[in-house]
Every structure is written in structure tokens, then in C-alpha cells.
A = this chain, B = another copy of it.
Amino acid sequence: MNTFGYNIRLTTFGESHGPALGGILDGFPPMVKIDFEKVKEDMEKRAPGRQAFTSPRKEPDEVEFLSGLSADGVTLGTPIGFIIRNKDQRSGDYAGYAGRFRPNHADYTYYSKYGINEFAGGGRASARATVSWVAAGALCRQWLATKGVTVSARFIETNSVEEAASNGDSTGGIVEGVINGLPVGVGEPLFGKLHSRLAAAMMSINAAKAFEYGDGVASAYSFGSNVQDLMIPDNNAAGGYRFLTNHSGGIQGGISNGMPVNFKVYFKPTPTLMREMDAYDTEGKHVIIPPKGRHDPCVAKRAPAIVEAMALLTVADLMRYM
């Protein structure tokens, strides 16, 4: 369950405090010329420390490509192996957490499931794992660009992040994504619907709690007569028709209809606070966890790069043999 996708498949590995993370992107089309500067830009968008109020960890996150590319950077159609070294492991920061179940973290569930006490910094559950998703998404972005498909995402603030940070608190937030330029026909019935695949992809991101597309939650409160997307013939439109409105969010019956696909992902607040936290350890003893370690008061702020990556992987996968 460390593999995402069917036609273009990303298999990942790596713990946040091991020597490296990485992945294998298999099924990627041959003959795509990769611009490594653009890969670097995508990696930087994800990097913590780039934005105020996100974690000060400043690793450069260089992607080393090990296969699948010719000497001049053209994809060969063979699996693309890549690694990202962990340069700034500072696991000392996490010393206070060893053997302790931090509230609202995966510490307790991982410990119960695997029986292994390796959760300093989150191990495999850490958001650090998304570094591989962004690297692979960056390649998909370049291939999709050749087909006129673009993906972008932006953070929507719900509470003042400065205020949360100054209180040692954290806050939730929203990321809105949009996919432009999709042809008609992307998505597979019955269990590969475009929005079902997107939902699964987005809910794989740490701290995501809800997903909606098009009118989303509001649809449930609507009358049918108010939300019909009427279509009219339009020779400039992807499939020969244009829709006058987009309540559907660009998807009908699980298949893209040529309109922009828009969706929102709702993120909970970072569970770690810069305050003392009540907790229990693996021996059942009550402990106070001190405020320590790296800290993003709002995980959603850093999420747009990851939302983009997962949407890119999803769309590339579905479009591979179209």
C-alpha cells in the first residue's frame, strides 16, 4: 500500500529520519524531455522554511535521479528511480517524544498495529514522505503540460496563523485545487471515477479531513432546478460542447466533461502544539510532553504543493493510455 496509481505507478519508501526517501515511477511515457530546473522549483514550493510560520527545517531536498533517463534528460520508458537524502535529521529534537503517544498523532495507532516504537518524528507516518510525491508529481506536470493540462492549488486561510503561532497553538486550513485543460473523457467507471480517485489521493495527505468537488457540501442543500449545468455547442470546447455553469466541477458520471475540475481539501490543525501536552507512554504512564521540535502551526499552508502533486499523479495515471 505504498504504491499509487495503475498505469503510471509511484512506489515510495523512506522514513523521516532514515538516510533517504525516494520512489520508483513506473509506466511514465518515453520521449519526455525533463527540465530539471522545473523539478527543483516544484521541490522548493513544498520545502518548509520557505514560508513564514512553517517549519524552520531547511533541507534543500535535492532529487537524485538514478534511472529511466537518457544522458540528456529524456525519459526512456523504463522505471524512473530517484532518491532524496535526509540531510538534516536532528532526531535529537524528538528525544522527548520517544515511547510517548502524542495527542492526535499516529503514534498510538502505529504502535498498536506494528508493535514497533520508531515514531520519533513520525517515521513512515511523517509528512516528510510527501517529498517523493512532489518529485514524481513534478515529472507528471511536465508530461501533462505537453497535452495542455495544468494543475494548481492555493491555500485559503481560515484563522490567522500568526495569532495561532503566537499562542503556541495551531490552526486548520483549506487548499483549493483546479485542473485546467483536461480533455473530455478522463475517469473510469465504476471504481475509477475521476473524483473518487482524487478523493483517495487527497485523503492520503496527512491531516486531510474532508474532500469536495464542484458544489460539494453545498450540493446537499440545493434543489435540482438550481444547479443544472446547461450545455451548448461550442466548436472551441474540448468535446464540442461548453457548459454555461460548472456546478458539476468538471466531472459527470465520474468522467471529465471538458470544464475545469475544481475541488477543496480541508485540513485539521497541526496536532503538535508549542505547549505542554498531556499524554501517555507505551507503559501506560501519564507524561507531560514539552513543547519542542520543528513546528508548522498550519499544515495546510504547506499543502498546496502536495495537493498539486497528488492531483498530477492522479490525472497522469488516468490519461496514460488515452
Interchain Cβ contacts under 8 Å between A and B, 28 examples: A1-B192, A2-B79, A3-B191, A13-B68, A13-B81, A18-B66, A22-B66, A22-B81, A31-B116, A76-B123, A104-B224, A104-B247, A105-B253, A109-B184, A112-B184, A112-B255, A124-B190, A129-B190, A164-B224, A170-B223, A170-B224, A171-B222, A171-B224, A209-B215, A209-B220, A224-B297, A225-B273, A231-B280
Interface residues of A (CB under 8 A from B): 1-4, 9, 11-15, 18-24, 26, 30-31, 64, 66-70, 76-81, 83, 101, 103-106, 108-110, 112-116, 118, 123-125, 129, 158-159, 164, 167, 169-174, 184-185, 187-193, 195-197, 199-204, 206, 208-217, 219-225, 227-233, 239-241, 247-249, 251-257, 266-273, 275, 277-280, 284, 297, 300, 321
In-complex Cβ contact of A266 among B103, B114, B167, B219 (8 A): B219
Distance (whole angstroms) from the CB of A31 to the closest CB of chain B: 7
Chain B residues whose CB sits within 8 angstroms of the CB of A251 once the complex forms: 109
Chain B residues whose CB sits within 8 angstroms of the CB of A106 once the complex forms: 252-255
Q: Are B124 and A172 in contact (CB under 8 A)?
A: no
Copies in the complex: 4
Q: Are B19 and A66 in contact (CB under 8 A)?
A: yes
Sample of 17 further A-B pairs with CB below 8 A, known A113-B255, A169-B225, A227-B268: A3-B26, A13-B24, A19-B67, A30-B114, A30-B115, A66-B83, A78-B124, A108-B252, A158-B220, A170-B224, A170-B225, A171-B223, A196-B204, A210-B212, A220-B266, A220-B268, A240-B284
